[in-house]
Structure 1
């Protein structure tokens, strides 16, 4: 290894893809570029105008390839390096973002562009909830041993629920789909010409445990046509940090890199961020906070934690159990409120002060004492991933009066997400899996008030990742291992990653005040956890929406 070697990490997000050029020797980030997806999130209609139903969320594979064509060469140019010095490239993706493809890797959306099920289903596609409910009910009735590994319920966001939806709503496309493949693996296939499947997405999103998927008997009991579903998933799983292959001539032309550059095995954006924070040891929980939050933690102990998203051997780093939990909505809850709940007078005041609306509301909220707004909110606006695993739940705010102001609601929503994080931490510790350090990463780390609120609510210090682009840096760390520059992920993370330890510490008085509010949050959490009210409201909404679309097809 020399100081003149570089690797590239590419992070495929919800709305854009980011590439970063990283020096192998010390993890210095020398150049970065972002490419916005032309299609963004496809959630109302396909590009040709074909309408979509409620809770759909799709993406376009063309957008992902455009990231390779644009962001990678732009990042190399910004870094001012010779492309021949790049020895490896690594990628990460949102998950479960999954697509049907032919045996040659051609997305079915390229062949059937007017059929919704031909397109990749984004991680936040929640239209398969009833299919997830059936999977959970059958697994519980049969006593399937894999179910407790996922906290007792699998999610509508995952591979099996989305696959069952494809089968039952478009059987022809299901038959034509030789592959049901995570975008994390599909993009590596495009880069190398070699199909691989990574242990991370298979374990957390495709119910792969103890060397196999759910049995054919279980699948047949769900639907006889589903019996061979796992043949579409791939059975030979590759370890994280492994070498998937090398850049093809076509991929080299896209990226401006040399043919033959090492490409690491695919990974998930949240899981790979642990390496960027150098938080790959037992008990280091990394909360990757953006539109949603994913909680990732390696551990040397195994336990079945209620409501987690999975416990997977080797799922974050080889040799340790990897745990995942999460909150379906965090930053997008705050964005929703700014888009829909703030009067123009506040927008004008923010502009007059030279502040963004987020900054303006944060300042007003921060000036309040704990509990001054008189509100408690549930952070379920995009459902609940952990610990209830129910994406048909919805948000709730209690305590509003005619004197409630936008900053009150804004602060209550911030606190709600912190309370949700505390529920997750307590679930782990109650199950005997200690959280030794809470590390935060992602775009929301820029909001110092939010970070301090989390420290106060959690009653523990927060460490903060040093990089502002954790997934991309983490992918670069994995690329360095795949290229042979380091022997393993832990060694590479220590050299290339980093965090500021205990950057935020809890204030004892505020922490005491939040304990009382948290107790009220838990009462609401338990009261509405069965979903009786929220599920019925969703059913009424969907029925009314269907009637409106039928009567007004132009909509």
Structure 2
């Protein structure tokens, strides 16, 4: 045991938080912990987290469970989280309201339209890498200023999940902790960050959110502080432990599996499905997000579906059956779920549609269909959504040479269906626990205990899921119907979405 050092990675997700304790020498996973939590939806289209009761409580619980196992030899800690989020705080970092979550929260539609007109849609795309959508942080800051002015008047800082937890870990004696944001997270803060210049756009920041302090820009693997005495007392982590900046969860996941080289694509199976393709230069496209990468000087083309694992979780809860049971039943069915087709837009859709009023559609239902059919149709629907995104990426100039699957949803049936639908192989690494493991690796980079290329030794590829030609051919016609179903039902689901909001007669 002499000389061993350990790294703690923690990821704050939409519906749960995960932590891992890793041996710094070889990336061996020594222990893991999970904490479930709820997401508040006070109004249709709103998704929020209480930062103290969700983010900080989960970090404290995970640190208390895993930290003692390091036996005082914790070399570093790194936290990632859902993003981009908007958490307004006072000057000391105390939250003033629950955090507004990422693209699943669609409240700021008026502000998206207003900022697009004010700054110019094409100009925003060229300068920031993405058009303004529900994924953008800027409109949500302006929503706060316009709709909750009393809160905004008191606001001095704003954080995302990872950056606020960095603040909490480094705050001491009533003094605020580090106020930083990593370049990747900032690049999702459209229209506030210039992608090529790697800097805040000062005049646009002041126009969107006047009077706020702006966080210092850093990289995910930069050490930005140390665990304070106060944080040590709250978490059990050793005071003085280096704290890395961290980043948005999907990009931490790409680091976890080494999908950070040009031509790599990380496919994250989670509550939402996320795709991150590393490219040589920014390739802005209005259907996708062009962002900064994990490592300095890298860029990404990214896509994200609003729901994927969330739909399978909904079916699990609705039917009362567990995932293993549903998966086994669905695996017995043929491709196409005996004539069932699902649009998985249960919370609107992000890329490449950017339609917050899209809704789920199940077509072809008959009395012979049961829960297994619905479950398989959900898996296939998300696979069709992945293919739609991959096609948009290729058309935009993406570089899709290698697909790596990661995340808690990377189960055998689902990955096989995705490979059959997309006709692309997927590599499965040894550890698919995801962002928390990537956080541990970022902590290793930050503390000099690993170099970027060493992730291949930490987390080698152990399996490749190949598409099966006959099944792949069988999905071609179904994919064509999938693509046709959205425009055929768009007017109807938009009217239904309006009723759900209560703004239709």
Same fold at TM > 0.5:
yes
Rounded Cα–Cα distance in structure 2 between residues aligned with 1:470 and 1:334: 19
- Report whether the alignment pairs 1:26 with 2:14: no
The structure 2 residue matched to 1:540, chosen from 477, 499, 503, is 499
- Structure 1 segment 314-333 matched on structure 2, within 5 A: 315-333=293-311
Rounded Cα–Cα distance in structure 2 between residues aligned with 1:233 and 1:329: 33
Distance change >3 Å, CA 494–CA 524, structure 1 → 2: same
- Structure 1 segment 137-216 matched on structure 2, within 5 A: 137-139=117-119, 142-147=120-125, 153-192=131-170, 193-207=177-191, 208-209=193-194, 210-213=197-200, 216=203
- Report whether the alignment pairs 1:408 with 2:408: no
Q: 1:154 touches 1:389 (CA, 8 Å); kept in 2?
A: no
The structure 2 residue matched to 1:335, chosen from 284, 292, 313, is 313
Rounded Cα–Cα distance in structure 2 between residues aligned with 1:8 and 1:431: 37
Residue 500 of structure 1 aligns with which residue?
462
Rounded Cα–Cα distance in structure 2 between residues aligned with 1:335 and 1:145: 39
Equivalent residue of 1:145, what SS? Answer: helix
- Report whether the alignment pairs 1:521 with 2:492: no
Rounded Cα–Cα distance in structure 2 between residues aligned with 1:408 and 1:129: 35
Cα displacement (A) at 1:231: 5.2
Rounded Cα–Cα distance in structure 2 between residues aligned with 1:57 and 1:397: 24
The structure 1 residue matched to 2:470, chosen from 493, 498, 509, is 509
Q: 1:286 touches 1:441 (CA, 8 Å); kept in 2?
A: yes
Equivalent residue of 1:304, what SS? Answer: coil
Write the deviation string for residues 425-482 of structure 1: whole angstroms up to 9, x where unpaired. Answer: 1111122222111111111113x11111011001011111322422111111111111
Q: 1:149 touches 1:311 (CA, 8 Å); kept in 2?
A: no
Write the deviation string for residues 502-555 of structure 1: whole angstroms up to 9, x where unpaired. Answer: 2x1111000001011111111223445xx433222222232279x9xxxxxxxx
Residue 327 of structure 2 aligns with which residue?
362
- Report whether the alignment pairs 1:423 with 2:380: no
Equivalent residue of 1:146, what SS? Answer: helix
Cα displacement (A) at 1:212: 4.2
- Whose radius of gyration is greater, 1 or 2? 1
- Report whether the alignment pairs 1:104 with 2:77: no
Residue 83 of structure 2 aligns with which residue?
95
Rounded Cα–Cα distance in structure 1 between residues aligned with 2:296 and 2:199: 18
Rounded Cα–Cα distance in structure 1 between residues aligned with 2:366 and 2:476: 23
Q: 1:61 touches 1:107 (CA, 8 Å); kept in 2?
A: yes
Equivalent residue of 1:42, what SS? Answer: coil
- Structure 1 segment 272-291 matched on structure 2, within 5 A: 272-291=252-271
- Report whether the alignment pairs 1:58 with 2:48: yes
Cα displacement (A) at 1:149: 6.8
Residue 450 of structure 1 aligns with which residue?
414
Rounded Cα–Cα distance in structure 2 between residues aligned with 1:307 and 1:415: 22
Structure 1, unpaired ranges of 5+: 44-51, 109-117, 220-225, 348-355, 548-555
The structure 1 residue matched to 2:244, chosen from 257, 264, 285, is 264
Rounded Cα–Cα distance in structure 2 between residues aligned with 1:168 and 1:256: 41
Residue 48 of structure 1 aligns with which residue?
none
Cα displacement (A) at 1:405: 2.6
Distance change >3 Å, CA 32–CA 145, structure 1 → 2: same
Residue 13 of structure 2 aligns with which residue?
13
Residue 115 of structure 1 aligns with which residue?
none
Q: 1:276 touches 1:465 (CA, 8 Å); kept in 2?
A: no
- Report whether the alignment pairs 1:82 with 2:71: yes
Rounded Cα–Cα distance in structure 2 between residues aligned with 1:312 and 1:371: 35
Distance change >3 Å, CA 337–CA 36, structure 1 → 2: closer
The structure 2 residue matched to 1:67, chosen from 55, 58, 61, is 58
Write the deviation string for residues 128-160 of structure 1: whole angstroms up to 9, x where unpaired. Answer: 233324334544xx3542325777632224311
Equivalent residue of 2:123, what SS? Answer: coil
Rounded Cα–Cα distance in structure 1 between residues aligned with 2:381 and 2:327: 15
Structure 2, unpaired ranges of 5+: 171-176
Rounded Cα–Cα distance in structure 1 between residues aligned with 2:129 and 2:185: 17
Instruction: Give the root-mean-square deviation of aligned CA atoms.
Output: 2.4
Distance change >3 Å, CA 183–CA 360, structure 1 → 2: closer
Q: 1:17 touches 1:34 (CA, 8 Å); kept in 2?
A: yes
Write the deviation string for residues 233-289 of structure 1: whole angstroms up to 9, x where unpaired. Answer: 626310221111111111122232322211101311110111211222111111111
Rounded Cα–Cα distance in structure 1 between residues aligned with 2:118 and 2:483: 29
Residue 174 of structure 2 aligns with which residue?
none
Cα displacement (A) at 1:194: 1.8
Residue 482 of structure 1 aligns with which residue?
446
Q: TM-score, normalization: structure 2?
A: 0.91
Write the deviation string for residues 172-224 of structure 1: whole angstroms up to 9, x where unpaired. Answer: 211211112212211101112221121111102344123444574x67xxxxx
- Structure 1 segment 213-232 matched on structure 2, within 5 A: 213=200, 216=203, 227=207, 229=209, 232=212
Distance change >3 Å, CA 36–CA 406, structure 1 → 2: closer
Distance change >3 Å, CA 176–CA 462, structure 1 → 2: same
Distance change >3 Å, CA 183–CA 232, structure 1 → 2: farther
Residue 552 of structure 1 aligns with which residue?
none
- Report whether the alignment pairs 1:312 with 2:291: yes
Distance change >3 Å, CA 30–CA 292, structure 1 → 2: same
Rounded Cα–Cα distance in structure 2 between residues aligned with 1:185 and 1:372: 43
